[in-house]
C-alpha cells in the first residue's frame, strides 16, 4: 500500500483546474489573510478579498467529494480601529456559490503574546470555518473524543430531574441535555473550541499553524488513505501531518522557495504494511530533514 504526497508549484486558481471533479475528502487550509505579511508573500486588499477568493473556492467546490469537508482557517484584522468584514462577506458569497456553511470552530491560542491597546484586548483566537458541499458528509466523531475529566465527578453527582429528562433545559434553550446518559462514561464529545498553543515546530514560515490543528480535523473528517488538499501549502504542515496519519495529500504553493523547502523535506510516497487486523504500520520516515 502506498500513501502519496503530491506538491505543486503555482497559483491555486490555475493548478486546481488540473484536479479531478469530486476527488478530495478534506480541504484544510489557511489562506493569505487580507493585507498581512505583504513583505513575505504579498497581501490582498480587504475590499478585493472576496473577488480574489471566489474563483479559487469555485474550483475547491468542484474537486471536493459530496461527502467531503472544507475547513478554512482565517481571521479578519483590525483596520483603522475597526474589524474588517471581509470574512463575513466571504461566507455570504460562498453560500451563494453553493457551499453550506456548516459550522464555525474557534482555535483558542492558549499562549497569545501579551500586549496593550487603547481600544481592545489582545487577540487570542482564530476562526476555522467549516463548509460542505452537501448536508450529509463524513464525520468520524469518536476519533476526537476527550476524557470526561473532573467535570463529571462534580456535575454528574447530583443530577436534578431536568438533567435526567430529554428535551428540557434549565435555561429554556430547547436543547435537551439528558446528562444522566453520561454517568459512568470516561469519554465525551468535544466542543467546537480548540485550545491549542500557537507554537509550531516549523520555523521556516512566518504563518505556519501548529501540527495539532490539521491533525484534529484530519482525524474528524477523514480515514486512512483518504485525500487531503491544502491549496495554500506554505511550509507544508497539512501535508506532513496527513502523511504521518496515512492520508494521501496534495499541496499547492505559489512561492518557489516554500515549495522547494517542502520538496526537500518530504518523501513523495510512503509505503505501508497491511496488518491482519487492518491496522497500518509505517515503514518509512515522514521527514528526511527534521526542522525542529
Ligand atoms: C498562511 S500561509 C500558509 C501556512 C501553512 N498553513 C503552514 O503551516 O505553513 C499561506 C501560503 O499561501 C501561499 N499563497 C498565497 N497565494 C497563493 C496562491 N494563489 N496559490 C497558492 N499559494 C498561495 C503563500 O505563499 C503562503 O505560503
Mean pLDDT of 138-154: 86
* pLDDT-derived band at 127, boundaries 50, 70, 90: very high
Q: Based on the domain organization, do 113 and 177 belong to the same domain?
A: no
Is 291 domain-assigned? Answer: no
**Residue of 9, 45, 232, 259 with the most ligand 1 atoms within 8 Å of its CB, for mutation:** 232
Cα 2 to middle of ligand 1, angstroms: 27
Give the integer Cα–Cα distance in Å for 53 and 32.
10
Q: Based on the domain organization, do 169 and 128 belong to the same domain?
A: no
Is 238 domain-assigned? Answer: yes
Q: What is the pLDDT of residue 276?
A: 46
Residue 187 exposure: Cα atoms within 13 Å on the Cβ side? 7
Q: What is the pLDDT of residue 181?
A: 74
Atom of ligand 1 nearest to the CA of 258: 27
Residue nearest to atom 19 of ligand 1 (CA): 11
CA 104 to each of CA 98, 177, 233, 259: distance values in angstroms, whole numbers, following the listed order: 17, 21, 22, 30
Q: What is the pLDDT of residue 38?
A: 53
Q: Based on the domain organization, do 153 and 271 belong to the same domain?
A: no
Q: Based on the domain organization, do 141 and 194 belong to the same domain?
A: yes
Q: What is the pLDDT of residue 164?
A: 66
Cα 127 to middle of ligand 1, angstroms: 17
Determine contact, residues 187/148, Cβ cutoff 8 Å: yes
Is 292 domain-assigned? Answer: no
Least confident span in 148-152, 174-178, 222-226, 287-291 = 287-291
Per-residue pLDDT reduced to its tens digit, 233-253: 999 999 999 999 999 999 999
Determine contact, residues 25/67, Cβ cutoff 8 Å: yes
Atom of ligand 1 nearest to the CA of 40: 25
Per-residue pLDDT reduced to its tens digit, 177-206: 677 677 777 899 999 999 988 766 655 677
Residue nearest to atom 7 of ligand 1 (CA): 208
What share of the chain in percent tops pLDDT 90? 61
Q: Based on the domain organization, do 173 and 33 belong to the same domain?
A: no
Q: Based on the domain organization, do 160 and 16 belong to the same domain?
A: no
Residue nearest to atom 27 of ligand 1 (CA): 234
Q: What is the mean pLDDT of the chain?
A: 85
Give the integer Cα–Cα distance in Å for 62 and 87.
21
Q: Which residues does ligand 1 sit against, CB inside 6 Å?
A: 11-13, 30-32, 41, 205, 207-209, 232, 234-235, 237, 252-255, 258
3-state secondary structure of 230: strand
Q: What is the pLDDT of residue 19?
A: 98
Q: Based on the domain organization, do 15 and 74 belong to the same domain?
A: yes
Is 237 domain-assigned? Answer: yes
Q: Based on the domain organization, do 104 and 183 belong to the same domain?
A: no
Q: Based on the domain organization, do 71 and 170 belong to the same domain?
A: no
What cell was used for 177?
441535555
Q: Is the pLDDT of residue 48 over 60?
A: yes
Q: Based on the domain organization, do 275 and 237 belong to the same domain?
A: yes
Q: What is the pLDDT of residue 254?
A: 97
Q: Is the pLDDT of residue 152 over 50?
A: yes
Cα 256 to middle of ligand 1, angstroms: 11
Give the integer Cα–Cα distance in Å for 180 and 220.
26
Q: What is the pLDDT of residue 200?
A: 61
**In terms of pLDDT, which residue wins out, 283 or 51?**
51
**Residue of 254, 257, 260, 287 with the most ligand 1 atoms within 8 Å of its CB, for mutation:** 254
CATH number for the domain harbouring residue 236: 3.40.50.150
Cα 184 to middle of ligand 1, angstroms: 45
Q: Based on the domain organization, do 38 and 161 belong to the same domain?
A: no
Residue nearest to atom 18 of ligand 1 (CA): 11
Is 131 domain-assigned? Answer: yes
Q: Based on the domain organization, do 133 and 72 belong to the same domain?
A: yes
Give the domain extent around 54. 2-145+190-282
Cα 31 to middle of ligand 1, angstroms: 6
Cα 168 to middle of ligand 1, angstroms: 46
Is 51 domain-assigned? Answer: yes
Is 170 domain-assigned? Answer: yes
Q: Is the pLDDT of residue 171 over 70?
A: no
- What domain count does the chain have? 2
Amino acid at each position: 500500500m502506498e500513501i502519496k504526497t503530491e506538491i505543486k508549484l503555482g497559483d491555486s486558481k490555475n493548478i486546481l483546474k488540473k484536479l479531478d471533479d469530486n476527488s478530495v475528502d478534506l480541504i484544510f487550509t489557511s489562506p493569505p489573510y487580507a493585507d498581512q505579511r505583504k513583505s513575505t508573500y504579498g497581501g490582498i486588499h480587504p475590499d478585493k478579498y472576496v473577488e480574489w477568493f471566489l474563483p479559487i473556492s469555485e474550483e475547491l467546490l468542484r474537486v471536493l467529494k459530496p461527502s467531503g469537508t472544507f475547513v478554512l482557517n482565517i481571521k479578519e484584522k483590525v483596520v483603522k480601529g475597526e474589524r474588517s468584514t471581509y470574512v463575513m462577506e466571504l461566507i455570504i458569497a460562498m453560500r451563494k456559490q453553493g457551499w453550506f456553511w456548516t459550522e464555525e470552530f474557534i482555535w483558542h491560542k492558549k499562549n497569545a503574546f501579551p500586549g496593550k491597546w487603547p481600544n481592545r484586548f489582545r487577540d487570542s483566537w482564530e476562526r476555522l470555518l467549516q463548509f460542505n458541499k452537501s448536508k450529509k458528509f463524513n464525520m468520524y466523531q469518536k476519533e476526537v473524543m476527550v476524557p470526561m475529566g473532573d467535570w463529571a465527578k462534580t456535575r454528574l453527582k447530583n443530577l436534578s430531574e431536568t438533567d435526567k429528562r430529554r428535551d428540557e433545559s434549565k435555561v429554556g434553550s430547547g436543547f435537551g441535555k439528558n446528562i444522566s446518559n453520561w454517568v459512568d462514561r470516561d469519554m465525551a464529545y468535544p466542543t467546537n473550541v480548540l485550545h491549542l498553543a500557537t507554537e509550531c515546530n516549523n520555523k521556516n514560515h512566518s504563518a505556519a499553524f501548529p501540527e495539532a490543528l490539521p491533525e484534529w480535523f484530519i482525524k474528524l473528517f477523514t480515514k486512512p488513505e483518504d485525500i487531503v488538499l491544502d491549496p495554500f501549502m506554505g511550509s507544508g504542515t497539512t501535508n506532513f501531518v496527513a502523511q504521518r496519519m496515512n492520508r494521501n495529500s496534495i499541496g499547492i504553493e505559489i512561492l518557489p522557495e516554500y515549495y522547494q523547502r517542502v520538496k526537500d523535506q518530504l518523501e513523495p510516497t510512503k509505503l505501508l504494511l497491511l496488518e491482519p487486523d487492518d491496522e497500518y504500520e509505517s515503514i518509512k520516515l515522514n521527514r528526511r530533514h527534521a526542522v525542529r
